[in-house]
Amino acid sequence: MRLTLHGTRGSMGRAGPETALFGGDTSCIDISNGEDSLLILDAGSGLSRLNQILNPPPARIDILLTHLHLDHLQGLGFFRPAFSGDVEVHLWGPASSTMTLSERLSRYLSPPLFPVRIRDLPGLRFHDLRPGTYQIGNYEVVADLVCHPGPTLGFRISHGSKTVTYLPDHEPALGGNFPRPGEWTSGFDLSNSADLLIHDFQYTADEYEERIGWGHSSIPHALAFANQVGAKRMISFHHDPDHDDTELDRLHQAARDSGLSFELTSGQTGLTVDL
Partner 1 sequence: MAQHPIEMILLKQWASLIAVPVWITDADGRLIYYNEATEEIIGLRFEDAGELSAEQLSEVFVLCDLDGSPLATDDRPLIIALTKQMASHRRIRFLRSDKEWREIAVTALPIIGEGNRQLGAMVTMWEDKD
How far, in Å, CA of 228 to CA of 234, rounded?
Answer: 12
How far, in Å, CA of 237 to CA of 239, rounded?
Answer: 6
In the DSSP assignment, the letter for residue 57 is P
To partner 1, the closest distance from the beta carbon of 93 in angstroms equals 13
Distant-in-sequence, close-in-space partners of 159: CB < 8 Å, separation ≥ 6 = 1, 33, 138, 139, 140
Query: Which residue among 10, 93, 151, 215 contacts partner 1 (CB under 8 A)?
Result: 151
To partner 1, the closest distance from the beta carbon of 128 in angstroms equals 9
Between residues 96 and 265, which has the closer beta carbon with respect to partner 1? 96
The interface region with partner 1, picked from 134-142, 180-188, 233-241, 254-262 by CB under 8 A, is: 180-188
The interface region with partner 1, picked from 68-76, 104-112, 133-141, 146-154 by CB under 8 A, is: 146-154
Residues in the chain: 275
- Touching partner 1, residues 37-56 (CB under 8 A): none
The interface region with partner 1, picked from 46-54, 170-178, 200-208, 231-239 by CB under 8 A, is: 170-178
Please say whether the dihedral angle defined by the alpha carbons of residues 72, 78, 80 and 84, taken in this order, is positive or negative: positive
- Touching partner 1, residues 2-31 (CB under 8 A): none
244 binds partner 1 (CB under 8 A): no
Burial of residue 211 (number of CB atoms within 10 Å: 0-12, 13-18, 19+): middle
CA-to-CA dists, residue 33 to 64, 91, 139, 144, angstroms: 16, 20, 9, 23
| Cβ 256 vs Cβ 27: under 8 Å | no
CA-to-CA dists, residue 81 to 24, 47, 123, 230, angstroms: 23, 11, 7, 38
Query: Which residue among 56, 161, 183, 206 contacts partner 1 (CB under 8 A)?
Result: 183
At residue 29's C-alpha, the angle toward residues 62 and 129, to 5°, is 40
- Touching partner 1, residues 184-243 (CB under 8 A): 184-186, 188-189
Query: Which residue among 21, 116, 145, 224 contacts partner 1 (CB under 8 A)?
Result: 145
Between residues 22 and 188, which has the closer beta carbon with respect to partner 1? 188
To partner 1, the closest distance from the beta carbon of 99 in angstroms equals 11
Site string for partner 1, 86-125 (x = CB under 8 A): ---------xxx----------------------------
Provide the Cα torsion 110, 65, 63, 38; round to 10°: 160
In the DSSP assignment, the letter for residue 122 is T
Task: Using CB under 8 A, count the residues that bind partner 1.
Answer: 21
To partner 1, the closest distance from the beta carbon of 130 in angstroms equals 5
Residues near partner 1, by CB under 8 A: 95-97, 130-131, 144-147, 151, 174-177, 182-186, 188-189
